[in-house]
Structure 1
């Protein structure tokens, strides 16, 4: 079997040989300059990688990728699962030496949901009592369900029991009130104002060139850190990143030139990281061409996902027969393994799928594709146009024609907002290890939903949010996914698996399915 498809399912990658060299400078390159590294305003996944080295929440991930206490030394959960009490570390400080207290989280949580902040991910706070009402501007931020008991004790009240709340507590990061108020948006631009509370602090920042981080000597757990200096090189050109990997100037990069994958594999410079993510076609359900679910199912069935993965994408991904990706946990085992596929991805079943697609098109009033309009598919300039071209040919098997329209992502986002599109190559990588991170995208009132509405689907997800019994809750989520796949408001293509270029010298870098790579324990060998 080709090593390229031996996907890494573990939360960590540990390459063990050689001895740690604390004085080595780890150089990573994940793309060009990001819009911001403010924890509450960042939307870029690579920005999150940087931010998670600088900041720490109430919880954190340990060396093995497990959620453990972070700025909180310990916590209690009420019997009904609604109240979390966090006891902060009394030895925690900000990078400038100022004591870290409960007031810092109180301010930060309120800032995160404040409509004036306009945080793109403020909705992630929705499990906390009143968070959604606050983000909508219906009630003041002071009514958020977080209360300071004393300088080192916080009480957080939830709307409903939330099985994955500790994972969210790892994601809700604090910022310092006096710094934000003094410097405004510019607080993130230089080491003097970028005051943080995590394992590293900013040593240098040159816009469009580099960010250099060094160990935060005021961090309570600094003695466990291995990497002394980490440099982020702002590079957007894949060939430049490849040259850097090969000549040793860069040690880790996600900027893999697709045409070089096989050669890089031969050089042992490629590692595959499977993600909590799915690539799919987003469909405008208000467009007449897609109002019939039988048409949407037919278009889904007519895609040969095995050909895409084995020939077109060259093993970058796993064929998707449903929406929730394989790594996400169930009550027992994995959600995908327990739920099975709603679209057969058996290599021998493609012709059966095509015949079923033809039958569905005929039932919908388009026998042999007759009178069905030409589909317009938007693909971002950085998207996989080659893959969509292959799908374009596959749809000809059911006599459906499509045209591909490349657009800048900003233009596509505007098309989402005003529903001026037919179909878009899209995708989503979840934020936490629970099926809800995927399924709640299609609640009828979700901000990311482009028009799908199903009362039963909404009801199941809302009931799941209130359910304490983990087994019953997961069954509700399986039932919800079944409704989603029967309605087919999206067309899943493949589960995300990201190729990474990694220097043979780099050891103990940490991968996880959220693509939030960590280098706290990394070192270089000769």
Structure 2
């Protein structure tokens, strides 16, 4: 522990000293330069930092939190979310559910329009959902629509498009038929995976989502400027049916990947909000009135590529997981209030018993260096290795990820005698590299879009394109699939607990910690909302 503390301190020393360590004041208001002159109204504009270029703003194919942050402001599904994160009707003004709870009939709002002023139609939604599950689209999130009758078969090439339970009855009426009654379907529909795309635009230009000039959305905001790798700007959509409910007029995202630079920009007033801080800066800012810490329903982890040595061996995987000191990592390296993780599902999902799913399930392993050494030796003997194959740990370029990776590198060397090399890539490239499974061990994070265990466990389904480990377990898949159609809430949770147990026994990944989000917010920025599974929304925010 003393060594690790010294290690963490040495890392902090590379961060330049910064002026103004206390809480910052508000940014200057616009106008009112002369004494006694009337003060101009504060412009309702806010500046965030996205860190990097959003990889994909198309609801059919996007998978990353950077893009999601922007998309959540641009699009709206049949359902949307209120300030508290509850599902409420969005583009639909009415919904009817059949007696058997299988068929939903949605009536769209007469004033639901695209940002170019054209009406949003039922055909737009039907086209979007069918395109999402079309095998040719190769969407990594198509499985989220498998609740729809015939969707899975069509997506896997074993069924026909005409057998999918999606139908545009007329311009404003959409029917969706499910495989089984799904009590949380409204919550599903409120996520960005169910945002519509404009059929006419998408058919004319398959790359419509790549630039501001061609981007059309139906939500609270419209995309007006996108200087790639530099800055993205959205403004209030004058054609949005509920525009009077939108307070913030303009949102800008800078793209600054360096945490120290991002922090300096916040302190100088260039940013109104900051979520990127080196760990030593984060520690000193916890006493600032600008500081805000909120739960985040996700897991920070290292994936194993189980098709590449040495992680083809289960005992080797478990040895690596047991050799990492999570308490030291969260308290001395990340320092953001994260919770050490010994499972996939974080706290935050309440079961029918009233308990937290994590509290019911407990931890699946514990740190034990002696046992880890034993497992490593046994795994090497099973494989006939006199020395462990070389290991490279990958992470996406980010100072905080680098510090965690360096600490884990040191722990594995000290506790297992394993020399681990490190490699980093920019986020967009990194996503492609891991998708191609061109790695051995790689950092990843996953946030359940609904606070329900199924949306965390889905990540490791054998046919989930998000599962980049090469791990497939039929029992795990069957338990998850059974849970999707189980109508008894208690039995459904039992199935999900069993599924998580299978996952954690085979361990195709190392859970490191469950997230906590830490932000700095200017005192004159009020009304940001903080979902447990997304970055903050500025829709209802105001500048004072």
TM-score by length of 1: 0.85
Does 2:337 correspond to 1:322? no
CA contact (8 A) 1:22 1:228 kept: no
CA contact (8 A) 1:81 1:468 kept: no
Specify the SS of the correspondent of 2:335.
coil
Deviations 1:341-360 (A, max 9, x none): 1124xxxxx5xx23443454
CA contact (8 A) 2:305 2:441 kept: yes
CA contact (8 A) 1:271 1:500 kept: yes
Higher relative contact order (CA 8 A, sep 6+): 1
Please point out which of 99, 104, 115 is paired with 1:84: 104
What is the match of residue 394 of structure 1? 411
What is the match of residue 201 of structure 1? 222
Taking the TM superposition and a 5 Å limit, the aligned residue runs for 1:272-283 are 272-283=293-304
Quick one: distance in 2 between partners of 1:413 and 1:246?
A: 31
Deviations 1:467-511 (A, max 9, x none): 111111011000111122122222211112233332222111111
Quick one: distance in 2 between partners of 1:104 and 1:417?
A: 29
Please point out which of 84, 87, 96 is paired with 2:116: 96
Q: Residues 414 and 376 of structure 1: is their aligned pair in 2 closer, same or farther, counting only changes over 3 Å?
A: farther
Does 2:59 correspond to 1:44? no
Does 2:459 correspond to 1:429? no
Quick one: distance in 1 between partners of 2:388 and 2:494?
A: 39
Q: Residues 473 and 375 of structure 1: is their aligned pair in 2 closer, same or farther, counting only changes over 3 Å?
A: farther
What is the match of residue 486 of structure 1? 505
Deviation at 1:179, TM superposition (A): 2.3
Specify the SS of the correspondent of 1:51.
helix
Deviation at 1:54, TM superposition (A): 1.7
Quick one: distance in 1 between partners of 2:136 and 2:47?
A: 36
Deviation at 1:414, TM superposition (A): 6.3
What is the match of residue 25 of structure 1? 45
Gaps of 5+ in 1: 1-20, 345-349
What is the match of residue 108 of structure 1? 128
Q: Residues 278 and 462 of structure 1: is their aligned pair in 2 closer, same or farther, counting only changes over 3 Å?
A: same
Deviation at 1:63, TM superposition (A): 1.3
Does 2:379 correspond to 1:379? no
Quick one: distance in 1 between partners of 2:227 and 2:386?
A: 57
Quick one: distance in 1 between partners of 2:377 and 2:209?
A: 60
Specify the SS of the correspondent of 1:289.
coil
Taking the TM superposition and a 5 Å limit, the aligned residue runs for 1:229-308 are 229-287=250-308, 289-308=310-329
Quick one: distance in 2 between partners of 1:226 and 1:47?
A: 22
Quick one: distance in 2 between partners of 1:326 and 1:500?
A: 20
Specify the SS of the correspondent of 1:519.
coil
CA contact (8 A) 1:67 1:166 kept: yes
What is the match of residue 189 of structure 1? 211
Specify the SS of the correspondent of 2:123.
helix
Q: Residues 441 and 288 of structure 1: is their aligned pair in 2 closer, same or farther, counting only changes over 3 Å?
A: same
Deviation at 1:381, TM superposition (A): 4.4
Gaps of 5+ in 2: 1-40
CA contact (8 A) 2:316 2:375 kept: yes
Q: Residues 137 and 363 of structure 1: is their aligned pair in 2 closer, same or farther, counting only changes over 3 Å?
A: closer
Quick one: distance in 2 between partners of 1:188 and 1:388?
A: 32
Deviation at 1:151, TM superposition (A): 2.9
Quick one: distance in 1 between partners of 2:204 and 2:508?
A: 46
What is the match of residue 58 of structure 1? 78
Please point out which of 356, 363, 370 is paired with 1:341: 363
What is the match of residue 74 of structure 1? 94
Specify the SS of the correspondent of 1:244.
helix
**Number of residue pairs the alignment of both structures matches:** 496
Taking the TM superposition and a 5 Å limit, the aligned residue runs for 1:210-225 are 210-225=231-246
CA contact (8 A) 2:299 2:341 kept: yes
CA contact (8 A) 1:280 1:493 kept: yes
Q: Residues 80 and 479 of structure 1: is their aligned pair in 2 closer, same or farther, counting only changes over 3 Å?
A: farther
Q: Residues 379 and 297 of structure 1: is their aligned pair in 2 closer, same or farther, counting only changes over 3 Å?
A: same
Quick one: distance in 2 between partners of 1:378 and 1:363?
A: 22
CA contact (8 A) 1:278 1:496 kept: yes
Quick one: distance in 2 between partners of 1:413 and 1:39?
A: 17
Deviations 1:277-334 (A, max 9, x none): 2122222334453444344333322221101111121135210021111123333332
CA contact (8 A) 2:396 2:443 kept: no
What is the match of residue 132 of structure 1? 152
What is the match of residue 179 of structure 1? 201
Specify the SS of the correspondent of 2:495.
helix
CA contact (8 A) 2:259 2:277 kept: yes
Specify the SS of the correspondent of 1:213.
strand
Range with bigger deviation, 221-230 or 256-265: 256-265
Deviation at 1:221, TM superposition (A): 1.7
TM-score by length of 2: 0.82
Quick one: distance in 2 between partners of 1:37 and 1:326?
A: 29
